[in-house]
Structure 1
């Protein structure tokens, strides 16, 4: 169905998310609809407007990562490595031509935690204008450049093909998988380690979102704070996490008898060229990205079985996204189940797109649509089927996921059951 191009499929999935340190724990958490959101424990959040987040209980040593790696690498790289190990084991891939294996990793904010920690040390807690570099880690340069994450994955798995870090804000996770898909189609690789990771829960990040009042101040009731499409929502909840998919050329996968979760059948992207943090109310650019993805997948709107919404829980985004679905899908937008897993695991910035694509792959495999938790009083302007509170058993042959990021980035991707494609 891809016009004679090489086809790419997903053969392995690894996930670390709030409330779940593995693929199966993640799936149980999002289908159970129980939010993993709490008062921030990584630092004292008392000075901030929003004091809550969806944190991962991530112990690197539990994933076989060494003390040397923990000292050398930022948290977002460590989570990416742990996810990649799970994804490789899940894929059953025991060997591949190193020159035919690539890396495509997304991140929005890279080594934010390490950079902030080291600045605090070097500046004597912010008191010294001229910093003393003798007090910082010798691995500080690796924290400065986000590309170090792709390097670490390539070294770990002996991938000598194309390697890149994709950083397009909150669409990074979708866009990184799209880049992997393109590498497969163009014959540049047969296997790509693809996904995204972000660990942004730090004072500087919380302060940034406080400044624009984008995050929820519902500090006394954390589990109820992430409320996409609900009339009582007050902003998004910051999260962290990672997901890595093994994206493989179809014939390469079939030749080794691999289990295939789904096929990547369509992708579309647009920039709104409108505002750094603002969105047009009509959802035009996101709608156009959706239509491009659907066209490349050769699907009619009626073919969709599930939409994983961006669903950040801000009024601006949720209404913009609802308009985009109506623009792109017409009346079919009212019949397809839609949900936002950010209601459970928060918004992990660049990582969330790959985590949501993992959810789409599992929804296709298992015939279950995860719910939108906390959706008890729907916003009248968000009048589509946003799957409130309870998961739903649905046959999903084709799943669409959408992403919308600061800077005007708009992305959409379609996963399809291989037999349906």
Structure 2
């Protein structure tokens, strides 16, 4: 390890109700929700019929008919977010060394929408038990291999260094950025285009979560359906979206005069090796990931100004996370504001970790903690400060953002303002 430090110099976001970083922060800081009834397909047969969708016009973002035909919706999101991040970073055409620039993209469920649509076609709407492959798209292979997401982003930005997709369930968006940081720190790359993308709002995904009753059936109150830490919560709201960052070696970014949005100071990840969907109530594994991230950042619990929670709105997750924060931050947990942006933009599975990193960076930039929307009746067992309903002005120089995923994945990242840490 070289000990090189990692800066965030570019941010791109596509989120429900908010295309672009500026609109994303407006939505969060105003506490607006983007959850609604599903429109991407007919949800009538399903138990949960609400989601957080993006009103996305590929042509308006420079994607032509051939791009749309070739790329899954999630890949389109990633390319558009990557372009915004690159523009924000000031690394324009010719400024990148292709061989020293890499890509890591996180995704939990890959090209779900393309696969769902292609199955509908080759099975003649489900009529054929033996599908007719002659009707399949010539781009179907790209949908089967999620690595196509990293390839599309690499082609879009001209990166010829390390390229990969990280798929660790709902922590993918944290883990892809964490992995990118390690590549910079060890000297394998100088610039990484890193983030995550997901477009899972399709019949097969909704059916899978219906089967285990993980998503909310609060269909008549779509805008208030996502209720993290609320006593009346009854499942998460499925979402979609993408956030992509330009990460650079800190000193190099300073030398070129780049605006440093934040520094990624520490990262940790663990697996509970316990249950595919279940969580131990004591939060030990998430607490351990937090400890590792703090140790890497050379910080203590008292340094944390804000916790950006996983806060999915399921009963077991919110209790598990509350326990983990108490276990890792001790008494400081009771003095630290915590909030879940999933209350506003839903749970976009593998993408949400990166979207939450973007929210954390913007919270530091504006010294504002975004609220937990729809938190009207606090669960007595979730007894920390979850910033209900309204954003809070709060001096925020260091943020802890955490994630939890099916399969037992638990990840944590510590982000600091550009001048927070000394060399």
* TM-score (normalised: structure 2): 0.98
Distance 1:323 1:147 in 2: 36
Q: Distance in 1 between matches of 2:365 and 2:33?
A: 23
* Counterpart Cα distance in 1 of 2:366 and 2:211: 41
Measure how far apart 1:223 and its partner are.
0.7
Match of 2:151 in 1: 151
Partner of 1:24: 22
The aligned residue for residue 327 of structure 1 is 327
1:397 is displaced (CA, Å) by 1.0
Q: CA deviation at 1:232?
A: 0.5
Q: What is the deviation of 1:134?
A: 1.1
Q: How does 1:59-70 map to 2 (within 5 A)?
A: 59-70=57-68
Equivalent residue, structure 1, for 2:132: 132
CA distance in structure 2 between the aligned counterparts of 1:158 and 1:23, rounded to whole angstroms: 22
* Unmatched tracts of structure 1, length 5 or more: none
Counting only pairs closer than 5 Å after superposition, residues 1-12 of structure 1 correspond to structure 2 as: 5-12=3-10
Listed one character per residue, the Cα deviations across residues 200-226 of structure 1 (whole Å, up to 9, x for unaligned) are 000000000000000000000101100
- What is the CA deviation profile of residues 331-379 of structure 1, one whole-angstrom value per residue up to 9, with x for unaligned ones? 0000011000000000000000000000111111111110000011100
Find the counterpart in structure 1 of residue 41 from structure 2.
43
In structure 1, what is the Cα distance between the partners aligned to 2:138 and 2:385?
Answer: 52
Aligned counterparts of 1:174 and 1:398: Cα–Cα separation in 2: 16
How far does residue 31 in structure 1 lie from its aligned partner after superposition? 1.2
How many residues in Structure 1 have an aligned counterpart in Structure 2?
A: 419
- Quote the Cα distance in structure 2 between the aligned partners of 1:13 and 1:58: 19
8 Å CA contact 2:174, 2:411 repeated in 1: yes
| Match of residue 343 from structure 2 | 343
* 1:194 equivalenced with 2:200 (yes/no): no
Q: Distance in 2 between matches of 1:66 and 1:11?
A: 28
Paired with 1:252 and 1:176, the residues of 2 have a C-alpha distance of 22
Q: Equivalents in 2 of 1:327, 1:213: separation in Å? A: 28
For 1:110, the equivalent position in structure 2 comes to 110
What secondary structure sits across from 2:247 in the alignment? strand
Structure 2 equivalent of residue 403 of structure 1: 403
Question: Where does the alignment leave 5 or more consecutive residues of structure 2 unmatched?
Answer: none
**Deviation of 1:417 (Å):** 1.0
Give the aligned partner of residue 83 of structure 1: 81
Who is 1:389 aligned against? 389
In 1: Cα distance, 2:162 partner to 2:2 partner = 23
CA distance in 1, matches of 2:324, 2:313: 16
Displacement of 1:166 in angstroms is 0.2
SS in 2 for 1:221: helix
C-alpha displacement of 1:4: 6.1
**Aligned twin of 1:74:** 72
Q: Distance in 1 between matches of 2:64 and 2:331?
A: 53
Q: Distance in 1 between matches of 2:360 and 2:181?
A: 16
Q: Report 1:152-171 matches (<5 A).
A: 152-171=152-171
Query: 1:220 aligns to what SS in structure 2?
Result: helix
Using the TM superposition, give the Cα deviation of residue 127 of structure 1 relative to its aligned residue in structure 2, in angstroms. Answer: 1.6
CA deviation map 1:298-317 (0-9, x unaligned): 11111111110000000000
- Deviation of the 1:197 alpha carbon: 0.2
Whole-angstrom CA distance in 2 between matches of 1:252 and 1:303: 26
Q: Report the Cα distance in structure 2 between the residues aligned to 1:368 and 1:63, rounded to whole angstroms.
A: 29
Aligned CA RMSD, in angstroms, stands at 0.8
Native 8 Å contact 2:2 2:186 kept in 1: no
Matches within 5 A, 1:222-371: 222-371=222-371
Alpha-carbon separation, structure 2, partners of 1:47 and 1:155: 40
**1:418 Cα deviation (Å)?**
2.0
Shift, 1:278, TM fit? 0.2
The separation in 1 between residues aligned to 2:70 and 2:322, in whole angstroms, is 43
> C-alpha separation between the residues in 2 aligned to 1:278 and 1:14?
33
Deviations 1:19-56 (CA, angstroms, capped at 9, x unpaired): 00111111111111111011000001010000000000
Cα deviation per residue 1:150-205 (whole Å; 9 max; x = unaligned)?
A: 01111111111100100000000000000110010010111000000000000000
